[in-house]
Structure 1
Amino acid sequence: MNSRFRRILAVSAAAALATSLVACSGSSDAGGDASEPSEGPTAITVATYPVMSNAAVYIGVEEGIFADNGLDVTLETITSGPDSVPTLLSGDLTFTSIDVPTLINATKEDVGLVAVGAMMVGVDVDRGYVGVVAAPDKGIEDWADLEGKKVGVNALGSTPVALISASMEAVGADPSTVQWVQIAQPETIPALQAGQLDAANLAQPLLTAAEEAGFEQVGNPEQLTVGGVPTFLYVTTREYAEKNPEVVAAFQESLNASGEIANGDHELAIETAKKSTTVDPAVLDKVTGLPMWGSKPLTTEDLQKFIDVLVNAGQLDESDASIADQMIWNG
């Protein structure tokens, strides 16, 4: 992993750990303990953000899939996965979702998180759920053209940074020359229009909105890197998983069933997104590139594929290449 990427992730995990220690000072039971016998369903709280990628879990709740597996789900809106980690560690959340690089760093820092399922899987097409866009007059037509440019991403040290860097490496370009700019997704298109960014990574439906505003897609950073590989994961604390393996198993089964429905019924996914996001329904109707939601049990091999991409692109030290076994719950 390059030094900048390492510093960003290390600071993020250290801050999360410090916050969680304060939050947990009065309790050692992170995430609660659902192992006691109960006549009714088990209450869990799942973090979501109001974007299309969370449609599957909303479908699962609305279709009664979680309830059928004995779970009473409360969906808690958050701003981002990494920001929710302290809340998870304090016990106020049962499950949240983070990207693979964040979990790698949390595992290295021994924060106590384990992956229990795949939220999203990389899409192996040139026009997917995510994409890098640029103005036509910027002369950015492929990954190599990003050298020396200002590129907007939702978070430094995140999956977009890793995958764009790996995509550039794949065509012989040098990602260390990129000026990464952290910017919230809703602010990205105005920043592109103002010339504050040369290019930016966007997810649907903002990707479609950017193209309608005249920007052109450079490529899908998942295509050359993690097509078919889990990119965002649902996690809980290791302590909670050890105390409540049956709840975790029910959550995993519900997730996979929900993802299968979402992947097979894009119209339902769009209609669900209209209710679960703040996006203009008219924009959602124009979206063609949808996420690939997780619908199979998560494996160590899945995580290893992502790790190998990071190592090969110089985004992760080879000494950390065998960390996958520590990242996943195998209870």
Structure 2
Amino acid sequence: MKVDASIGREWRDGNIEKAFEPGLGFARRHRSHRLQPRDAVRSAPPPNPTNAVAKCLNMDTIPDFPSLNLVFRARLTDRSTISVSLFILYSIRTSIQSFASNTNPAMERSRARRGTASCERRNDRDMALRMLRWVFVLLTALCIADGAASAQQLPKMVHAGLRTLYLAPVFIGIDRGIFKANGVEVTYQELESGALSPAALLSGQANVTSDEILGIAPLAKQGKEFMMVYNLMDRMTMNLVVRNDALAKAGYDPKAPVTQRAKALKGLTIGITRPGAPTDTYSRYFLVMAGLDPARDATLMQIGGGGALNAAFRSGRIDAFMLSPPFPQEAERDGVGKIIINNTAGEVPELTGMSYIVLFTTKEFAEKNKPALRSYVHSIQDALKWIEQNREEALKLLGANWFKNSKPETLALSFDALLPSLSTTGEFTPASFKKFLDVYKTIGEPVDIDLTEGKLWTNEFIKR
């Protein structure tokens, strides 16, 4: 049996209108073959959409089909989606027209005069059914592929840091899908110490992390370039907690000024995470403010992370330590110690309105991934706003997913104490840097660091 493939050629060559011109069935186009109606139906080649899609992929403009305008308006850059959608919609139109032609009185009279009415009706119906089958197959494939493509298109970022409550906007951003809604997929990787934060970035293990300025400034002097992108905490939030038995011996007066209360540290063993860490720096700061010598009047002992400090404090190995919530609150709740300086509440004016904990990345990553980094920063802002408006739900998520070992009442107490210190803008200012640098001048360790905008910090990504 001889079969003419002109329809296939016209489809392959992109002449879709000619290949499927309504009302022109296979038998009419090829009357010279004298095929029987049944043979004509069997011998009609199925349409080959692959070549048409390939043809469409090379198109620079979309055919002027008014019915397609709304479909493509939102996704003009996704050419494969446009091509397949174009084929589907055109096929539906062609099928409808083909069915309509079978009930068109003028067409029926024309077919009757030629004596091919039965054959042409069968061919039109058969062609329409084939087209509709392709419609359903491709529509299913399009939905699956489009969903997968959307997921793959989101840039991925890893935030590495301590599991502390000040990272609540990161945790909530992940749980609530805020990062994804803003166009970036973020995962969290826990670190045992803040000292590991820069190393996590330099090794490529993470893309963004959190630390104080001095955690990155010395490395910046060595040629390791970082960029601070968000001023996360605008006050120092580590509370100073001392064991009750040590306070009783020191004759502690809770109503005395801060500098007088800090005198209770004389002769005590103060636990720190590591030398040079904020736990070390601010412990020495309060010793100096109380008129004491950190080298002679107290013992600073390296213990490790928050969990280790908490355990050492409860066992009596150390007499005092400084940490952000919730460990100091838990120690006070359990009757082991007393918070004698509440920095989370902004009790010390010199330590508020400063750049304390910042979010930073490498300078190279900031320059090469600006859209993703901007989405990340905006998500931090959005997460903080959501937290402020949804306190109860935020506490449930944090307790269930991130702080399972913290009692709900302690977590709530810490959460309420810490939340005011988290900046919803993330803005850096000259004044915030000056207060930070003044701390190091107080303890006799002036910092040589270039804080010109664009060198180590930027407000570029917080703008909306």
The TM-score by the shorter chain falls in which range? 0.7 to 0.9
2:167 counterpart residue number: 54
Q: CA 1:103/1:315 → structure 2, altered by over 3 Å: closer, same or farther? A: farther
Instruction: Indicate if the aligned counterparts of 2:157 and 2:184 stay in contact, CA closer than 8 A.
Output: yes
Q: By how many angstroms is 1:278 displaced?
A: 3.7
Question: Structure 1 stretch 227-236 or stretch 301-310: which is displaced more?
Answer: 301-310
1:251 counterpart residue number: 376
Other structure's SS at 2:417 match: coil
Q: CA 1:329/1:285 → structure 2, altered by over 3 Å: closer, same or farther? A: closer
Q: For residues 13-52 of structure 1, what are the structure 2 equivalents within 5 Å?
A: 40-52=153-165
Q: Does 2:135 correspond to 1:135?
A: no
Q: Does 2:417 correspond to 1:289?
A: yes
Task: Name the CA distance, whole Å, in 2 between partners of 1:210 and 1:181.
Answer: 19
Q: For residues 23-102 of structure 1, what are the structure 2 equivalents within 5 Å?
A: 40-102=153-215
Q: By how many angstroms is 1:84 displaced?
A: 3.4
Which has the larger share of strand? 1
Instruction: Indicate if the aligned counterparts of 2:183 and 2:375 stay in contact, CA closer than 8 A.
Output: yes
Identity %: 21
Q: Return 5+ residue gaps in structure 1 as ranges.
A: 1-36, 124-128
Which deviations, in whole Å up to 9, do the C-alpha atoms of 1:31-69 show, x marking residues without a partner? Answer: xxxxxx997221111224333222111212233322222
Q: TM-score, normalised by structure 2?
A: 0.56
2:300 counterpart residue number: 180
1:103 counterpart residue number: 216
Q: TM-score, normalised by structure 1?
A: 0.76
Other structure's SS at 2:352 match: coil
Instruction: Indicate if the aligned counterparts of 2:174 and 2:187 stay in contact, CA closer than 8 A.
Output: no
- Counterpart selection for 2:437 from 301, 305, 308: 308
Task: Name the CA distance, whole Å, in 1 between partners of 2:440 and 2:156.
Answer: 39
Question: Number of aligned pairs?
Answer: 289
Which has the larger share of helix? 2
Q: CA 1:232/1:104 → structure 2, altered by over 3 Å: closer, same or farther? A: same
1:260 counterpart residue number: 385
- Counterpart selection for 1:149 from 244, 268, 281: 268
2:139 counterpart residue number: none
Instruction: Indicate if the aligned counterparts of 1:41 and 1:67 stay in contact, CA closer than 8 A.
Output: yes
Q: CA 1:297/1:209 → structure 2, altered by over 3 Å: closer, same or farther? A: closer
Task: Name the CA distance, whole Å, in 1 between partners of 2:412 and 2:264.
Answer: 32
Letter in 2 for 1:290: L
1:216 counterpart residue number: 338
Q: CA 1:137/1:297 → structure 2, altered by over 3 Å: closer, same or farther? A: closer
Q: CA 1:174/1:263 → structure 2, altered by over 3 Å: closer, same or farther? A: farther
Letter in 2 for 1:144: K
Other structure's SS at 2:357 match: strand
Task: Name the CA distance, whole Å, in 2 between partners of 1:302 and 1:63.
Answer: 34
Task: Name the CA distance, whole Å, in 2 between partners of 1:247 and 1:302.
Answer: 29
- Counterpart selection for 1:277 from 385, 388, 403: 403
Instruction: Indicate if the aligned counterparts of 1:165 and 1:313 stay in contact, CA closer than 8 A.
Output: no
Q: CA 1:265/1:56 → structure 2, altered by over 3 Å: closer, same or farther? A: same
Which deviations, in whole Å up to 9, do the C-alpha atoms of 1:146-187 show, x marking residues without a partner? Answer: 234211122321123222333333343333433211223223
Q: By how many angstroms is 1:286 displaced?
A: 5.0
Instruction: Indicate if the aligned counterparts of 1:162 and 1:315 stay in contact, CA closer than 8 A.
Output: no
Letter in 2 for 1:137: D
Q: Return 5+ residue gaps in structure 2 as ranges.
A: 1-77, 79-148, 253-260
- The structure with more radius of gyration: 2
Task: Name the CA distance, whole Å, in 1 between partners of 2:332 and 2:265.
Answer: 18
Letter in 2 for 1:149: L
2:135 counterpart residue number: none
Other structure's SS at 1:161 match: helix
Instruction: Indicate if the aligned counterparts of 1:255 and 1:294 stay in contact, CA closer than 8 A.
Output: no
Q: Does 2:320 correspond to 1:199?
A: yes
Aligned-CA RMSD value: 2.7
Instruction: Indicate if the aligned counterparts of 2:354 and 2:433 stay in contact, CA closer than 8 A.
Output: no
1:240 counterpart residue number: 365
Instruction: Indicate if the aligned counterparts of 2:272 and 2:280 stay in contact, CA closer than 8 A.
Output: yes
Q: By how many angstroms is 1:300 displaced?
A: 4.4
